[in-house]
A and B are shown apart, each in its own frame.
Chain A
Amino acid sequence: EDQVTQSPEALRLQEGESSSLNCSYTVSGLRGLFWYRQDPGKGPEFLFTLYSAGEEKEKERLKATLTKKESFLHITAPKPEDSATYLCAVQANAGGTSYGKLTFGQGTILTVHP
């Protein structure tokens, strides 16, 4: 069974204080690892997809990296508007009816104080 564990559950940062969020996963065969941002009362907003160990992707103050067992979401010099829940999900390399299914972690609630 695919599993995703995110840590920490909650993270409080001061504006400008860089940090990282962790996503550990076990999957039969990784097709892709997805990062989402979710604001209260809204659906998840797609950020990145990573496919293989060593891959990195960046978007503004966010950079996602991937190893064979975990992914990190690095936040550089965060601003209050980066406050949100960040979700990690894996998609297994399975065919048939399992194609496209995402297994999500519990999320990390990020709060950035001005």
Chain B
Amino acid sequence: SAVISQKPSRDICQRGTSLTIQCQVDSQVTMMFWYRQQPGQSLTLIATANQGSEATYESGFVIDKFPISRPNLTFSTLTVSNMSPEDSSIYLCSVHPLVDTQYFGPGTRLTVL
């Protein structure tokens, strides 16, 4: 299995500011994913981040709002830009190291005031 860590684990931010979330994996993986879990809701994919290429965003998510970096095969960052209270969610990174498994990090709980 893959061990995934995220920083920060939680944060409280003011509207209009930005927060960068880090995701570190203990092994090299080609594909990393960023999901959002809004309060009381299930997980929704924001984007797929492959090393060496631009991230691919799902419908409803744009690069200006959620810029992603993927500098190497074990690390990625997601920035939530110009935050509003509607961005309050848990943000999770995920990796797909093997054909039949996909693992999630512990999540970053974001509250925007």
Cβ–Cβ contact A104 & B43, under 8 A: yes
User: Which of B45, B58, B104 contacts A43, CB < 8 Å?
Assistant: B104
User: Which of A42, A87, A104 contacts B107, CB < 8 Å?
Assistant: A42
> Given A43-B106, A100-B48, are A105 and B42 neighbors across the interface (CB < 8 Å)?
yes
Q: How distant is the Cα of A44 from the Cα of B94 in the complex, in angstroms?
A: 10
Cβ–Cβ contact A100 & B31, under 8 A: yes
- Residues of B near A36 (CB, < 8 A) are 104
Chain A-chain B contacts (Cβ-Cβ < 8 Å), number: 54
- Among B12-20, B62-70, B95-103, the stretch that binds chain A is B95-103
How many Å from the CB of B3 to the closest CB on chain A? 12
Tell yes or no: B75 within 8 A of A by CB.
no
**Residue total for A at the interface (Cβ-Cβ under 8 A):** 24
Residues of B in contact with A, size category: 20 to 34
Cβ–Cβ contact A46 & B103, under 8 A: yes
- Residues of B near A49 (CB, < 8 A) are 100-101
Q: Which single residue of chain A is at the shortest CB-CB distance from B44?
A: A104
Quick one: which of B22-49 are within 8 Å of A by CB?
31, 33, 41-45, 48
Q: How distant is the Cα of A91 from the Cα of B33 in the complex, in angstroms?
A: 13
Cβ–Cβ contact B41 & A106, under 8 A: yes
How many Å from the CB of A63 to the closest CB on chain B? 17
Chain A residues packing against B (C-beta within 8 Å): 32, 34, 36, 41-46, 49, 51, 87, 89, 91, 97, 99-107
Q: Which 10 A-B pairs give the minimum distances between C-beta atoms?
A: A43-B104, A97-B56, A104-B42, A49-B100, A100-B96, A104-B43, A44-B104, A43-B107, A43-B106, A106-B42
